[in-house]
Amino acid sequence: MTDRYSTDFSTDIVIIGGGIAGLWLLNLLQQHGYEVLLLEKSALGNGQTIASQGIIHGGLKYALSGVLDGGANAIAKMPERWRDCLAGTGEIDLTACKVESQHYYMWSRSGFRSRIKTFLGSKSLQGRIEPVASHQYPDFFLRSVKSGKYCDLYRLPDFVVNTTSLLQSLSAPHTDRIVKIAQDSLSFNLSDQGPLESISVETDGKSVTISAQRFILAAGESNQQLLEAVNISNMPMQTRPLQMVYIKKAGLPSLHVHCIGNDFSLTPELTVTSHLAADGDQVWYLGGELAESGVGKSSIDLIAAAKKRIADFFPWVDISDAHWQCFSINRAEAKMAGNHRPDYPYMNQLHNMIVSWPTKLTLTPALGDLVLEALRSDAITPGSHENSFTAADLSGPVPAARPDWDQ
Ligand SMILES: Cc1cc2nc3c(=O)[nH]c(=O)nc-3n(C[C@H](O)[C@H](O)[C@H](O)COP(=O)(O)OP(=O)(O)OC[C@H]3O[C@@H](n4cnc5c(N)ncnc54)[C@H](O)[C@@H]3O)c2cc1C
């Protein structure tokens, strides 16, 4: 029989959602002395974070467009901030997080050599894209030199993190602050004036009411539903659907590259990252324009399009007996005119509620800055709590989500 009882607790900050946004903020705010509680309804990162390719971008899009405005400069600083965290000298300790690849490449048709050269001549771009001489090609690309070079290789400041390991390294030090709540059990207790007095949730058969100085909505695509529940209508969300493809096969070489095609568009034709599956097979995870134009296609048509692109860019690779799979997933972001991609993380506040979308994994440190600044400007300081508690009082541990190829 379930032991049902109701308990009231208070804390400084409640975060709803344990993807990259929620977990990063949990680490950052605990470090700044706040007592934080993170509520997760399924597995940590079960949404966009586990589906992401894990690329920490330095702003290729801006380099390709030649437009180097504030957005470009904001993202250009991110790889260094992440690298500091991975080295243990940054704002968050990510020393336990595995890096899939320290380098990320751009593989571009030779026909665009002169255009890229013009970009590379621009002072503001220096250091963002470095041409790689063919005698210095990584092993995988050396085969292209042997088979007649028709693309050029460039090294970007980007690198790739292992998202499962990222979720684990952000959650492991704070298991006592992460609570598993029952699906659909979250309800908001609003005051007449608008601020949120408390939230109520079910955990392990217990009914719990929690009050806090600030409530942060970090639930990715589910923020929309939460915003409706608290009657906030001026922070609209947009979703951008994708249909991702992956290839799974033993012994596939490791490959981390944007493939730039004929139209030289701002979205690479193909974006490849490599991951080790739990059964030891290697995975090539395919995004970019393939995934954007794949929305609405049947899996047969999308896989056929993916095979064609792989054969086109890497004709020396044998993927004949690989296992192919597609799945659909949405990006969730603050609404932009024309459904354009935002360039910045989003944070906004009403009363004691903070709403957040990081826009990209890459931009999460900048989201952290915004949240800290909002707390400082409202003079929210760490408090003392008579009804302090740990997550173990409320639920068992919350695991990290697993990527599609390990399910
Ligand atoms: C296919 C794909 C590839 C991407 N690749 C990259 C990339 O290479 N580099 C990059 O920088 N960005 C990338 N992104 C973007 C990046 O993944 C997202 O911006 C980021 O992961 C969003 O994190 P989040 O924490 O806001 O949301 P999510 O990761 O979706 O997390 C939301 C969390 O909230 C939980 N939740 C939902 N509702 C509730 C509720 N009611 N109560 C409690 N918990 C709840 C969910 O279970 C989940 O754990 C990619 C996105 C996609 C979809």
Residue with tokens 């192919």: 324
What does the block give as tokens for 118?
A: 């013009």
Alpha carbon of 45 to ligand 1 centroid (Å) = 6
**Pocket of ligand 1 contains residue 19 by CB under 6 Å:** yes
- What per-residue confidence (pLDDT) applies to 149? 66
Checking if the pLDDT of 393 tops 90, the result is no
What does the block give as tokens for 366?
A: 């900048």
Under a CB-based contact definition with an 8 Å cutoff, are residues 372 and 33 in contact? no
Under a CB-based contact definition with an 8 Å cutoff, are residues 201 and 181 in contact? yes
b/e map 306-337, b = 16+ CB within 10 Å? bbebbeebbeebebeebebebeebbbbbbeee
The stretch 288-293 carries a mean pLDDT of 96
Alpha carbon of 216 to ligand 1 centroid (Å) = 15
Of residues 41, 19, 401, the one with CA closest to residue 199: 41
| DSSP letter string, 268-290 | -SEEEEEEE-TTS-EEEEEETHH
Q: What is d(CA 196, CA 389) in angstroms, rounded to the nearest whole number?
A: 21
In tens, the pLDDT along 313-362 reads 999 998 989 999 999 999 999 999 988 888 899 999 999 999 999 999 99
- 3-state DSSP call for residue 401? coil
Under a CB-based contact definition with an 8 Å cutoff, are residues 191 and 199 in contact? no
**Pocket of ligand 1 contains residue 47 by CB under 6 Å:** yes
Q: What is d(CA 23, CA 368) in angstroms, rounded to the nearest whole number?
A: 11
Q: Rounded to a whole number, what is the distance in angstroms from the first to the last CA of the chain?
A: 31
Q: What is the pTM of this model?
A: 0.95
- What per-residue confidence (pLDDT) applies to 406? 97
Q: Which amino acid is at 149?
A: K
Alpha carbon of 220 to ligand 1 centroid (Å) = 5
Band of residue 58 on the pLDDT scale cut at 50, 70, 90:
confident
What mean pLDDT is reported for the chain?
90
